[in-house]
Chain A
Amino acid sequence: MPYLTINHLEKSFGPTRVVKDFNLSVEKGEFISLLGPSGCGKTTVLRIVAGFEEPSAGSVQIDGRDVTNLRPNQRNIGMVFQAYALFPNLTVAQNVGFGLKIAGVGRAEAAERVTDMLRLIGLPDLGARYPFQLSGGQQQRVALARALAPKPRVLLLDEPLSALDAKIRVSLRQEIRQIQQQLGITTIFVTHDQEEALSMSDRVVVMNGGIAEQIGSPFDIYNRPATPFVAGFVGSHTGFDAEVINPAAGIVAIDGAQLALSQQLTAPKGTIIRLALRPEAARLGRAEGRETILKGRVAQVQFMGSIIRLSTMVGDTALTLDTFNRPDTPPPPVGTEVEISVAARDFIILDAAGNGIAQRQTAEAERLV
């Protein structure tokens, strides 16, 4: 039985529906990320779980109990905010012990718990400091300790890393995940950063326009995106229009070159379907196991440290491919004619039924409106 269940959640602000029939079941101890662009409804879902927003319809259950109508202070939930939200007038230790004091925990027990929490976040000696005397990363650690101190049933993280600089963000996300696994606490993490979501979560919910487009493991979300939006939002890809040649055998043609995809297609012969290729799936030059060779011209070279990203023009299609950086092999200069090898199995079919173009055109029209 799931530990946290969100059933048919709806939320409207005036005439705008920001959450549409959202459903999610979270197992005890699971780390779930709500990933999506700004305005997709992810924070609204989190705030409904916390009790800060009332749903227009639907319910939230925690450990078998319906909490939809409970106030935030009755739900026993911990939350970490993007803006830290430490109480400026209280010291670090007082901040961490705030929830314990409210809960009526004895002074000795609370002091012990505060010490444990400060040790857990790696700041055992900073209990006497005030929030303004801490760095952003330290403040967010304290906020995490404060949320965890009263032993909440669920931990909610509302973009807790967004206000931090890149290096701290990476180290803190590892720490958060480690602490979450150590305590086994059920966690919902809201972010618009796909790298954070993919690296920290047991499962990711990709949201768009108030609906959950796909719920799955980071591996599935990245490698088997269910919709064109997920494919486009999570990671980058090159899109191809392909003509269906033989649906039963999964054979399609891109610019005249035929490919045998690894699955049957439901679209009839002659239909144009949409395929996607991740940058790391294409290789510069010929490579074993990659039977399809495309000819292109280097249009742009982006040196990103360990990876070099090449933008090439294959016919009229801009194909992006990543190669590992090797000091003895400099990247080809812009304008060079190159061969690119790809494997048919690496193509992601965005819509096997051939609705892709129609969907894209509709989305384009909606965006323009």
Chain B
Amino acid sequence: MTDQAALNTATVTDVPKARRSVGSVFSWAMFIFGVLYFALPLIGMFEFSLRKRRGTYSFDAYTTVLNDPQFQATFSYSVVMSLVTIALGMALVLPAAIWVRIRLPKMRPVIEFITLLPLVIPVIVIAFGYLRMFNTSSFLPMTGSITGTNILLAFGYATLALPYMYRAIDNGLRTLDVQTLTEAAQILGAGWFTIIFKIMLPNVFTALLSGAFLTFSIVLGEYVFAALLDRPAFGPYMIWTGGNRAYEPAALAVIAFTITWGCMGLIMLAGRLFPHTRAKR
């Protein structure tokens, strides 16, 4: 290689390398900034939650919270309600999303708009609407009984979760050729039940889990519906604790984060358990 050629080669290869290293440093800087931005408040909160006993770190705040019968009651109630909401949301959204993709593709923007409405309309408006429509002197007095109010709350939660549930499922369906798979199943003799539960559901399972997880998080922390309908949910309990205790709210927040991350871990684990989803990664 002549000197000139060597110089040319060096110039051609060195410039992108230099650019790459600048880009790499910038990326790392942004990453570290992001980590600090999110992690520092959490670390601070966790550290604060351990300070209940003077002069030493302890899990006293956690013990107090976990032993509080009200925590156990409200947390169990909200977990049950979130499971009901997930089931309700899936029963509503999965067939609707499939139907829109197969039969009413032109209606997709309309459906998407409708599913976004809960983000635009304040929860308090929906809650007052419910109270007005279903109070004890209305044609359907659902607030007249505990079961009725619970059902009403589950419907309210399902409405709140609609944007997340619909998007999660719709994203899952987007990875499939829903129309052709449905037709392939139909021509082999399958009915709608088989198509939804044997073909669509297993293929959007990870997406469904994401939707379920988001719904779970929303229901667990929701305050307005539960407070206005006077149900013993976890959201109002957290607010009440926040107003009356010092260290326990931080402990509660850490517990809530742990549950959330646990859910995320479970979603990733579930994704690995289904071999057919490996191809999509």
- The chain A residues found within 8 Å of chain B, CB to CB, are 50-52, 71-73, 75-79, 81, 83, 85-90, 98-99, 102-103, 130-133, 143, 146-147, 150
- Kindly state whether residue B188 has any CB partner on chain A within 8 Å: yes
With a CB–CB cut-off of 8 A, which chain A residues contact B16?
none
Closest residue of A by beta carbon distance from B195: A73
Complex Cα distance A348/B203, Å?
Answer: 55
Q: Are B183 and A72 within 8 A (Cβ)?
A: yes
Most B C-beta atoms less than 10 A away, residue of A75, A86, A89, A102: A89
- Cross-chain contact A88 with B276 (CB below 8 angstroms): yes
Residue of A nearest to B191 (CB): A73
B186 near A130 with CB under 8 A, answer no
Those of B169-211 within 8 Å (CB) of chain A = 176-177, 180-181, 183-191, 194, 199, 202-203
B188 contacts A85, C-beta separation under 8 Å: no
If over half of B's interface residues share one DSSP class (helix, strand or loop), that class is named, otherwise mixed; here it is helix
Question: What are 14 A-B pairs with beta-carbon distances under 8 A?
Answer: A50-B183, A72-B186, A73-B188, A78-B188, A83-B177, A85-B177, A85-B181, A87-B199, A89-B276, A99-B188, A99-B189, A102-B194, A130-B276, A132-B279
Once bound together, how far apart are the Cα atoms of A86 and B176, in whole Å? 11
Q: Does B34 contact A (CB under 8 A)?
A: no
Residues of chain B with a CB closer than 8 A to A89's CB: 199, 202-203, 274, 276
Interface presence of B278 (CB below 8 A)? yes
Task: Report the minimal beta-carbon distance from A113 to chain B, rounded to whole angstroms.
Answer: 13
CB of A307 to closest CB in B, whole Å? 38
Cβ of B275 < 8 Å from any Cβ of A?
yes
Alpha-carbon distance A79/B189, docked complex (angstroms)? 11
Write the nearest CB–CB distance from A44 to chain B, whole angstroms: 14
Let me know if B187 and A79 touch, CB within 8 A.
yes
Q: Which residue of B lies closest to A130 (CB)?
A: B276
Q: With A130-B275, A132-B279 as known contacts, state yes or no: A88 contacts B176, CB within 8 Å.
A: yes
Which chain B residues lie closer than 8 Å to A150 at the CB level? 188-189
User: In the docked arrangement, what's the CA distance between A75 and B190, Å?
Assistant: 12
User: In the complex the two chains form, what is the Cα distance from A73 to B275 in whole Å?
Assistant: 29
Question: Do B184 and A73 touch across chains, with their CB atoms under 8 A apart?
Answer: no
Question: Which of B183, B190, B199, B276 contacts A52, CB < 8 Å?
Answer: B183
A71 to B199, CA, bound (A): 19
Determine which residue in A79, A85, A103 has the highest number of CB atoms from chain B within 10 A of its CB, and name it: A85
Q: How far is the CA of A28 from the CA of B117 in the complex (A)?
A: 56
Closest-CB distance, B71 to chain A (whole angstroms): 40
Question: Which residue of chain A has the shortest Cβ distance to B175 in the bound complex?
Answer: A88
Give the Cβ gap from B76 to chain A, nearest Cβ, in Å. 34
- B205 to chain A minimum Cβ distance, whole angstroms, is 8
Which A residues are in CB contact (< 8 Å) with B202? 89
With a cutoff of 8 Å between Cβ atoms, the chain A residues found around residue B189 in the complex are 73, 76, 99, 102-103, 150
Distance between Cα atoms of A187 and B186 in the complex (Å):
19
Q: How far is the CA of A90 from the CA of B202 in the complex (A)?
A: 9
In the complex, which residues of chain A have a beta carbon less than 8 angstroms from the beta carbon of B184? 79, 81, 85-87, 143, 146
Is the CB–CB distance between B180 and A88 below 8 Å?
Answer: no
Closest Cβ–Cβ distance, residue B230 to chain A (whole Å)? 44
A90 to B191, CA, bound (A): 17
In the complex, what residue of chain A is closest to B199 when comparing beta carbons?
A: A87
> Which residues of B have CB within 8 Å of A71?
186
